[in-house]
Every structure is written in structure tokens, then in C-alpha cells.
Amino acid sequence: MAATAAAALAAGALVVAAAAPSTASSIAAAPSAGDPHADGTWTVTGPAHTDLSAELSVDSAGDLRLAVDRDGLPVLLPGRLGIRTDAHDLTTGLSFVSKRERTVHESYTMTTGKQLRQSVTMQEATFTFRGADGASLGVVVRVSHDGVAYRYQLGGSGQVTVESEASTFEVPTDAKAWVQPYQPSYETERTETTAGTANEAQPKTCTGDTCSFGYPTLFDVGGSYVLLTEADVDGRYSGSHLDHKDGSTSYSVALADDAPVTSTGPLSTPWRTAIVGSLDTLVGSTLVNDLAPPSKVKDTSWIRPGVDDWSWLSDGNSPGNFDRQKDFVDYAAAHGLEYTLVDAGWQESWVPELVRYARARGVNVLLWFDWNDLKTQAQRDAWLPKVKAWGVAGVKVDYMYSDSQSTFQWYDAILQDTAKLKLMIDFHGATIPRGLQRTWPQVMSVEAVRGEENGQNPTRDIFLAFTRNVVGSMDYTPTWFSRPGRQDTLARELALPVVFESGWTSLGDNPEGFAAQPLAEEYLEQLPTVWDETHLVSGSPEQQAAGDRQVVMARRSGDRWFVGGILAGASDTMKAPLGFLGKGTWLLQTVEDNGGSLQRSVRTVTSADALSVPAAANGGFAAIVCPAVKGRTDCDEPVVTAPSTSLVLDPSTTTAAPGAQITVDAQFTLPQGAALHGVRMTLDRDRLPAGWTATGRDVTAGSLSAGHVLGGDWTVTVGKDQPGGAVDVPVWVEYANPAGKNAPPVHVEQVVHVDIPLHGTVYASDLPFLSQTNGWGPVERDRSNGETGAQDGNPLTVDGTVYSKGLGANATSQVQVDIQGRCTRFDAKVGVDDEVAGKGSVTFIVQGDGKQLAATGVVVGGQAAVDLGADVTGVHTLTLSVGDGGDGNAFDHADWGQAVLTCAD
């Protein structure tokens, strides 16, 4: 049995040792089964060498309470437990039925986080109680070395509607507290206060004498720290927060929006979680992930954390500028950064070209989305495969701002979709992590923080190290060195991406700002974003004698330690004992402030030494520690970048009719430098439209020396049913990344742009837009304008008539399409969509090459569709415009129903 358990543990399996139902000898003052008036207390102790225990009790009224002790001293006072459904009140009148115990061992590997390899042991006890009406309630309690958690279990296979929980954490009123007023964005400021007076720190968002606070919430109870949060939340439930009545000890769990939760039984609720211990225990805790379900993604080889340069923070208009985004790609390529993140403003017309440009330089592109464009399955099915085909490595999704059950169901859906497509994801404008990154390892980071983009607050940053970042990756977006009016020093800004863990670390400055700080550049070139080990070296959220707060964090990657220290408040000396280092001699490479610039020093240390850094007000430092081996003078590893290569396609553009053949010739060269290895060239058949075929073989080379040419050729046949328009035929070359260390292959790609002449009947909604503007969200294809998201409209409907094809717009709107001079007639049924319930007034205009060809008068909501047609003979650029009817554009949802072109055969 022991050998079997050990093998399973080594394989990353869950191993449990179950005990028989408890007897009187294992229960203190055990009640008689089924007696609702008997008191009882059960103690669940942690695994060996831990100092935590939980005491579950039931009183004579049948009320459940849970308390937590550390070293035999109370940390959490007895707090109520229980749950109400629409069918049963399981908060009182409960009687004990049975108890089962087991030891839970888990071994698993993360793709992100403070400690990639986890081995955890938890003691678990499952208690069964019977309600006054005979309904059953399970309470599962787990105790580990770093905390206590419990959840409810409701049996049955039918629908379960949870109306509320009685779950309450009881904290002494004089306990020091660090609280955050609850908003579903989690972007409010944290405040240091006490448990009893926390409401005084709350802005005017309370209801009477009750205020709401967001997770995670930190308390100092007699020198033991308690961080309250929750774990394992998905679409079966909603998120929650804590409600507190002014002056009381009680922090009660409140479901999101105070709305019922409906699930299919049997139901296990999320874990109500208290991380408990010293500050070092809190900072190193993995309890939230330990409580989460195992990974749903078997193959994680495609998941690659890393550093990106992010243009939006320092240059808000840059995401809409192709040339400026290339500057950020060039910077990432030159400095060995894995990614460039393109935020709001990107255009479908040039992103594929930017992706090709970046990947040829060894940089992958991450793409921002408003969640309104990915809210429905239809929207995700339209967008996610498309950007994957472009070569985008991952997406950043923004503006969810909700803890509701429906939003968690959306998280479930998009996580399944991105895992299937092998797209990594970052959630911005999101809820806090609750173990999500263990279950869905493609989640690289989560915002849920008032970060760098929301202004600076050095004190807030200290609090975050002991609260928000404890429970999961935090997309803080640090290192805006050139920020106007910056409130911290350069060295402190440099330390932030070490103090704060994030699987994707989005650097906040622009190429010019980074170039002005070469020592910072050198440090960031070395920076990992995932860690083998994490330690709090020194510091506290509490104010020091000198009037400042500080934290020093050490994180290990391989054989190197990265140390970051930040200070908030008056200048002070920051001390970092180096006891976390192993035996032997080490090189300590430190970057610190020197007036208004940075300076670097290197010295030899051992684990018996301590680093001492004089820091200016709101200052800090960053360091790297590596083994001191003979001949080594610093801790830097070389930055290896992708060489410049050339892939030329002949032809690069061509025109071909349906059924025609195209011969594609490709030549790939490395002009200079060391030979490339593992080279493969192919025409990507998987990305050809349906009905297209290609013949020809892939070309490979074990190595390709500078000046040599790798050539390939293919014959492509256009599908016989291919409609008119433009199609890109991709040819790519991949070779082994010279950076090594399991870096992904470098991907060099070019396309043959094939124009298919328009012919026969062509719908405007099937043509690519040369340009589009719209008064509310994007112009929609084959659906109404809807709301602000793409593909979020309804069937095009005017005065009760539904049109299967067409465009949905909102005044003022303009769409331009290329009709190649091959069409003779444009016709449409135009009107105001029924989704605005008879409101709205618009005008429609058709232009050809800038000349007005046809127009309507004012068309109002509820009016029957108007026939609008024009002779477009010889026209190349067709422009379809919608005006606001002279009374503003509110409710001006305009439909171009059955917008069709008659073109040459």
C-alpha cells in the first residue's frame, strides 16, 4: 500500500487515507446522533509539525460554530456556520449524525506562481448534520500548515437554490486590520484600521451600520496573522465578500449581489478560507491553490509565462498605431522580452501583419479584448479562432467587474475555449484569483488590484504584498520610470516586479523611457516571472519606528535569487538578512538609487550576511544573487535574440478566379550570424479556406548556414465555390530558438495576398471593410447593432420583417468596401431596427468613389423598410453611411437589410 501511495504522489495524484466514522473517543463531549439539544465540540488538528487546529461545535439550539487556534491560542473566535436554500434552513436546529476523517496529500506543478512545485498535506474531517426538517448538511473542514478552510455539501441530484450563508468569521475588535471597501473591480484602496472600527475607513457605500469589504482581508490577532478569502469558485456558485456591522467582531460572508445561487446537486460550495500564521507563512502560502481542483489542461507545454512591454500605460494612443506598436516589438526583440501586449485600439486590418513582424523577431503578441466582444459563445467562436490563426499567443480580457454566478459561468466558458485553442489569458477588470491558475494553468495573471494605471500610492503597495498578491498572480503593470510626477524612486519602481508576482509581467514604460535607465534595462532583461521558491525576508504592513513601512521579498528561479525591496514613507535603511541562501559563497548584485539615477554594485556574501541599503523616501532596491563560481564577475546571463532573416514569396500578390491554380515559390535566408538549427518550411494548408487545396512538400534542414537559401514551392488551387474577396495564403518557416531553455521556435511567416474577383451576387456583409466608424459599438455583420460588443446584436428586424443578411449600425456610421469596379448594382432594405422599440430616426446614404449615388429622407423607428438602390457601375470604393436624422443618435440602430451587390460573372 505504501509503495502504491508513493508512486501515485510522485505522479501528481491525490492520495487520501480515510478513517472510519468517529467514535466517542475521538470526539470531545460528543452529542448523541439525532439529538438536536446536545452540545458537542470536535477538534481537527493540522498535519504533523503544524500549530493550527479548528474546533467545530454545535450548541443546544443546533447552531454550528467554528473557531481557529494557533499554538493553543485563539485566532478566530467561534463563528456561525450554516446555509439556507429555498427548501431548507440549515443554519439552526442541527443535530450531529456522523464524522469521517482523512489525510489529504497532493503533489502538483503550477505554470505560474510563487512556488511552481507543490506538495501539500491537509487533515480533513467531514461532518454530517441533520436539519430540523430532516435535510442533510455536510460540513468539510480542512487544516493545513498555513490555514483552515471549510465548505458545505448539499446532497441530491435536483436543482439547489442557495439563498444565503450564515458563514461568519469572528475577529477580536481590537485586532489590527487591513481592509478594502468592496467593489467587484477590487480597485479600491486598502486602509489600516481595527476589526471593530473598520467601517470608519469605508467610503459612503455602506447600508446603515453595515459595510462590505473585499477579499483578501488581513488581521493581526495577537501576533498571528489571519488572511480571509475564498477558494474554488466557479459557475456552480457566485463569488462573495464580507459584511461587517460597525463595532462588532463579526465578518459575515455575503453572496454577490445578494442574489440566490442555483446549481444542480449534489453541491459543494466554495471553501471559506483563513490563511493563518506568521507574515512569512502568509506570503509563502499556497492554500488557495491547494484547495482548488486539479488542472483541467493535460498538456501545458504551450503555456509560457514571460515579460511583455505594454504601450498603453505610457502612450495611451499607441495601440491604435501600427508603426508605434512596431517600436514596442523592436524593443522587446532587442532586450529578450517574450511578448508585446497590444491594448485597446488595435485594428483587425493590421494586427496579422504586426504578429508576423513580431514573431520573426522572436516576440509573440498578446491582444486586448473588451469582454463585451467575447461575452457570448458566438462572439468567442468568431474571435478566438481568428486571432489564434493570426498567431496571437494570448488575450487580455477586460471590464467584467462582477462576482455574480453568471459571470463565473462566463469564466468557465472562456477558459474552456482558450484551453482548447491553446491561447493564454489575462483577466483585467476582474475578480480576485480563487485557485483559478491551478485549475486553468493558461491563466497568466489577474488584475483585481488598484495598480500602476490607477495612480501611485507607496503605502498601498506594501499592503498588497501581504494581501492581494498572496492569493494569486497580480497584474500590477509596474516600471513606468518616465512617469510624470512619479512618487517613488527609480530603484523602488525596479523592485516592484520582484515584490509582486505575475505570470505575465507587463512593463509600463516606453522604449525611450527604458533607454534612459540602462541599469534598469539590464536588470529587467534577467527577470523571470515564475518562481521555484518565495520568502519574505523582512518587513511588515505595519509602520516602523522610523515612520515608514517596508517589505523585502526574495524569489528563487533556478540557482539565482531575485530580491526586491520597497519602502513607503520616510527614508530609512532597508535590511535584508541573507539566511535564505544556501551554503557556500554567493555574488550579490544590487541596483539602488544614487540621487536621481541608478547605481549597481557587486560583492561576495554568504548566508550569514545581511544586505543593508540606505533608501530615500518611497525608495527601494533590486538585487540578484547567484553562486560565486570561478571567473564569474556578475549574475547576468546573456540575452540571446532572434537573428534577422528573410522569407520572400513569389508572387506576393496575385489575382485568381475560382478553380484557378497559383504557383507559390518561397526562399528563406539567414544573411549573417551563427547557423540556424531544426529549420522547417511549409505552406499552411490548415489555414486555407474550405475547398482550397495545395500540393508540394515541406522543406527541412538540420542546419542552415548564413548566406544559404532554403527554397520550397507549392501549387495552390482556389476553391470552385470561393466567393469574391481577398484571401491570404500563409507560408512559414520555424527554427529552434537560439535562446534555448525550452524557448518556443522562432516563427517567420509571409502571405501571398490573393484577390478573388467579385462575381455574381455578393452580400456587403461578406466583404472585408476598408474602414468603419460607428456611433455605438462596432458595425455588425448579419445582425443588428446591439450593444457595445462585437457580434452582440440580434437578427436584423425592421417593422417585423427579419433579414438574414445585412449590416447593423448606429448613427453616425460609415462603412467602406472595395467592389473592384466589377459590380453594377447595389440594393438594400433599410430602416430602424425593432430592438429600439419604435424609437430612433436615421438617414441612409450610398456613395461610390466619393460621389453620392442614392439617399433616403429621415427614416423613423416603427416604419416599414425602405428600398434603397444605386447603379455602382465602375465603382471601386462603395461607402454606406448612416446619419442621425437631425435629433442626435440615441436609439439610432440602423439596418442595411439584405445589402447585396450584383457583380460580373
Residue 379 lies in a domain: no
| Sequence-separated (6 or more) residues with CB below 8 Å from residue 539 | 279, 462, 465, 549, 550, 551, 552, 565
Distances (CA, A) of 875 to 279, 824, 851, 903: 71, 8, 10, 11
Residue 241 lies in a domain: yes
Identify the band that residue 19 occupies on the pLDDT scale cut at 50, 70 and 90: very low
Name beta bridge partners: 717.
661, 693
Query: What domain range is 651 assigned to?
Result: 646-756
Q: pLDDT band at 38, cuts 50/70/90? A: low
CA max distance for the chain: 95
CATH number of the domain at 738, please.
Answer: 2.60.40.10
| Claim to verify: residue 790 and residue 692 sit in the same structural domain | no
Half-sphere exposure of 526 (CA within 13 A, CB side): 28
CA 471 to chain centre: 14
- Computed over every residue of the chain, the mean pLDDT equals 94
Q: What is the pLDDT of residues 197-243, one digit of tens each?
A: 999 977 667 999 999 999 999 999 999 999 999 999 999 999 999 99
765: left (phi over 0), alpha (psi -120 to 50) or beta: alpha
Distance from C-alpha of 165 to C-alpha of 259, rounded to nearest angstrom: 12
Per DSSP, 28 falls in state B
Domain-ending residue, one of 286, 312, 337:
286
Confidence of residue 905 (pLDDT cuts 50, 70, 90): confident
3-state helix, strand, coil in the chain (%, to 5): 15, 45, 40
Q: Which percentage of the chain shows pLDDT scores above 70? A: 96
In this structure, of 98-102, 154-158, 740-744, 768-772, the range with the lowest mean pLDDT score is: 740-744
Check pLDDT > 90 for residue 319: yes
DSSP code at position 667: E
- Which residues sit opposite 690 in a β-bridge? none
d(CA 841, CA 514): 51
Nearest alpha carbon to residue 91 among 50, 43, 135, 122: 135
- Asked whether residue 8 is assigned to any structural domain, the reply reads yes
pLDDT tops 70 at residue 145: yes
Tally of CB atoms within 10 A around 705 = 11
Does 530 reside within a domain? no
pLDDT digit string (tens) for 591-638? Answer: 999 999 999 999 999 999 999 999 999 999 999 999 999 999 999 999
- Give the count of beta carbons closer than 10 Å to the beta carbon of residue 317: 10
Query: 751 and 794 in one domain?
Result: no
Burial class (CB in 10 A: 0-12, 13-18, 19+), 499: buried
CATH of the domain at 130: 2.70.98.10
Residue with cell 498535506: 121
Clarify whether residues 41 and 56 are in a common domain: yes
Could you report the per-residue pLDDT of 65-108, keeping only the tens digit for each?
999 999 999 999 999 999 999 999 999 999 999 999 999 999 99
Give tens-digit pLDDT for 798-828.
999 999 999 999 999 999 999 999 999 999 9
Domain end among 725, 756, 787: 756
Cell of 537: 525576508
Question: Is residue 901 over pLDDT 50?
Answer: yes
Better-scored residue on pLDDT, 205 or 280: 280
Asked if 627 contacts 583 with a C-beta cutoff of 8 angstroms, the reply is: no
Q: What is the pLDDT of residues 422-464, one digit of tens each?
A: 999 999 999 999 999 999 999 999 999 999 999 999 999 999 9
How many beta carbons lie within 10 A of that of residue 35, not counting itself?
A: 13
Q: Among 27-36, 753-762, 895-904, which is the least confidently predicted range? A: 27-36
Is residue 820 domain-shared with residue 715, that is, in the same domain?
Answer: no
pLDDT-derived band at 568 (thresholds 50, 70, 90) equals very high
Radius of gyration from C-alpha coordinates of the chain: 31
Confidence at 791, pLDDT banded by 50, 70, 90: confident
State how many domains the chain has.
3
User: Model confidence over 629-675: pLDDT tens digits?
Assistant: 999 999 999 999 999 999 999 999 999 999 999 999 999 999 999 99
Residues 831, 731 within the same domain: no
- CA 281, 282, 288 angle in degrees (round to 5)? 115
Q: Is the peptide bond before 203 cis (omega within 30 degrees of 0)?
A: no
Residues, the chain:
905
Q: pLDDT at residue 777 above 80? A: yes
Share of the chain above pLDDT 90, in %: 92
What's the pLDDT at 29?
38
Residue 33: pLDDT band (50, 70, 90) is: very low
Work out the number of other CB atoms within 10 angstroms of the CB of residue 726.
12
Cα dihedral sign, 330-336-339-344: negative
One domain for residues 818 and 751: no
pLDDT of 34 higher than 80: no
From residue 698, how far is each of 420, 494, 646, 684, 748 by CA, in Å? 26, 46, 18, 10, 15
How would you list the strands of the sheet with 549-557, edge to edge?
Answer: 533-540, 549-557, 560-568, 620-627, 586-594, 597-605
Examine residue 209 and state whether it is found in any structural domain, yes or no.
yes
Residue 824 within a domain:
yes
* Same-domain check for residues 852 and 740: no
Q: Is residue 660 located within the same domain as residue 768?
A: no
Per residue in 370-391, pLDDT (tens digit) is: 999 999 999 999 999 999 999 9
| 735 & 784 share domain | no
Domain co-membership, 186 together with 75: yes
Please state whether the predicted TM-score (pTM) of the whole model is above 0.85.
yes
Could you tell me the pLDDT band of residue 267, with boundaries at 50, 70 and 90?
very high
- Look at residues 33, 42, 32, 85 and name the one whose alpha carbon lies nearest to residue 67: 42
**Same structural domain, 45 and 132:** yes
Strand locations in 631-775 (E): 646-650, 653-655, 661-669, 676-683, 693-695, 699-704, 709-717, 725-735, 746-756, 760-763, 769-773
How do strand 224-231 and strand 271-277 relate by DSSP bridges? antiparallel
* Phi/psi at 527 (5° precision): -75, 120
| Residue among 600, 613, 233, 232 nearest 405 (CA) | 233
How far apart CA 690 and CA 576 sit, in angstroms, is 62
- Which sequence positions are flagged as catalytic? 398, 453
- Could you tell me the end-to-end alpha-carbon distance of the chain, in angstroms, rounded to an integer? 76
pLDDT tens sequence across 674-692: 999 999 999 999 999 999 9
Tell me: the pLDDT tens digits for 502-552? 999 999 999 999 999 999 999 999 999 999 999 999 999 999 888 899 999
Q: Quick one: 799 and 668 in the same domain? A: no
**Main-chain dihedrals φ then ψ at residue 136, nearest 5 degrees:** -100, 140
Per-residue cell: 874: 465602375
CB 199 within 8 A of CB 193: no
Last residue of a domain, one of 286, 313, 339: 286
Asked whether residue 527 is domain-assigned, the answer is no
Question: Is residue 449 in a domain?
Answer: no
CATH code, 819: 2.60.120.1060
The tens digit of pLDDT for each residue in 583-593 reads: 999 999 999 99
